[in-house]
Amino acid sequence: MNHLAVRPQPLGVFALPTGYLVLPPSDKPTAGPALAALLRGELPAEWPPEWQFYAHALAGEVSAALAALPPANDLVTRYNRYVLAGAPADDLTLHTLLEGELACLQGVAAFTMGHRREPPPLAGATGEVRALALVAHAAAAIEQGDIPAADRHFAEAIAAAAPVSPVLAGQIALNRAELAMQHGGELTLITRWLQQAIDYTPPKSLLEVRARAAAQLGQLLQEHANGQRGPLQAAVRCYQEALRFYRRETYPLEFALIQNNLALAYLAMPMTEAGDRLRGAIAVQALRAALSVYDPDQHPHEWTSARLNLANALQYVHSAHPAEHLLEAVAIYEDLLQRRDPIADPAGYARILANLGNALAHLGIFAEARERLLQAAQLFAQIGDEPAMMTVRELLANIEQHEAVGK
């Protein structure tokens, strides 16, 4: 029987092809710490010589990884060569030579590379090997449209991986949650599995799986918060966790999206506590960070949305220099009006007009504010938006009161 001398293996922890490679035995003192680091999804401080091929594979250097494999023709080396080279002919040869869990792993690799039409049998597979094989069975079920079967395979895979390879279990939990999101799964289950993915992944590893799960969980919490402080605060914590990995330098678009969502979560919180002023300032900073990435030509929708959010935030957040904030908001609204078509998007154009009128009123520029608000009211009347019309009427009434007091 072919057996794996090193257990648990960091299978599935890293992207392919590395995630399918098998570590051979090593008697070097560095092997234990290196294995522990790999299982956490981290790079070892020092590699055993026997595992240099794995280091090259992690760096994306497949040719160097192949060259670093030992000259011996043992079955583990032949398996690793197959994973790295991906030759279909080697699948037939290895299929007749391998047994046990190594045969199961080779079947997973062959199925993933399209060399076989079915995932391997699960008999005899344990721990992380069984979990990886179950993920292949889930993939096969998804291809056949059997989503309940795929979910069952994911559930069993998480249970197999969790005791020996928590990071792998976290990745599978994220896959399970994302599958449910794509197919209208139950919200409570999706949030549970996303939280499971976060909990299984060590915070110090900064793996993308943890950040991706945190970002998606934050978005779900925010979408269903209904203005409640608790879920919004939980969403903020998720976004802060995701930003530990999604940096502007390495993942600019993800960074910008999370910053924008973070700002909206802060701004949606009820303004009832002393710390709310600080949250408003943080929201403005987050929107400015998002706008440092978004470009009006390359990301027109995202740029426009973030600019509008920033202008709205500048109107309402506490500031030691409110007039400066209001003037900046007015400039943004004026610019956005030039970019918005009142015929193609009358509702959007009218909302900007209303916000602009409100900002001008706060600055005491009442005549121009009234003009903008009346334009907005006319558009809202054309599209039949009665609540928006009522809001505009209230703003116009406030202007009349201020002018009456000033006479």
Q: Three-class SS of residue 318?
A: coil
Dihedral sign from CA coordinates of 399, 400, 404, 407? positive
Within 13 Å and on the Cβ side, how many CA atoms surround 249?
1
- Split at pLDDT 50, 70, 90, the class of 60 is very high
Which runs of consecutive H residues, i.e. helices, occur in 244-365? 252-268, 276-291, 300-316, 322-339, 346-362
Which pair of tokens denotes residue 16? 């392919």
pLDDT surpassing 80 at residue 319: no
pLDDT surpassing 90 at residue 88: no
- Split at pLDDT 50, 70, 90, the class of 322 is confident
Q: How does pLDDT run across 370-383, given as a tens digit for each residue?
A: 999 999 999 999 99
Q: How does pLDDT run across 200-212, given as a tens digit for each residue?
A: 998 876 578 999 9
- Give the pLDDT of residue 162: 97
Section 222-245 average pLDDT: 94
Question: Residues 160, 11: contact at Cβ < 8 Å?
Answer: no
Q: How does pLDDT run across 334-381, given as a tens digit for each residue?
A: 999 999 889 999 999 999 999 999 999 999 999 999 999 999 999 999
Does the pTM of the predicted model rise above 0.85?
Answer: yes
Q: What is the mean pLDDT of the chain?
A: 93
Q: How does pLDDT run across 136-165, given as a tens digit for each residue?
A: 999 999 999 999 999 999 999 999 999 999
- Give the pLDDT of residue 402: 81
C-alpha gyration radius of the chain: 28
In angstroms, what CA-CA distances link 147 with 11, 139, 157, 248?
A: 24, 10, 15, 36
Which pair of tokens denotes residue 168? 């792998």
- Split at pLDDT 50, 70, 90, the class of 22 is very high
pLDDT surpassing 70 at residue 1: no
- How far is CA 92 from its chain centroid? 39
Which pair of tokens denotes residue 48? 């055993």
Question: Residues 268, 312: contact at Cβ < 8 Å?
Answer: no
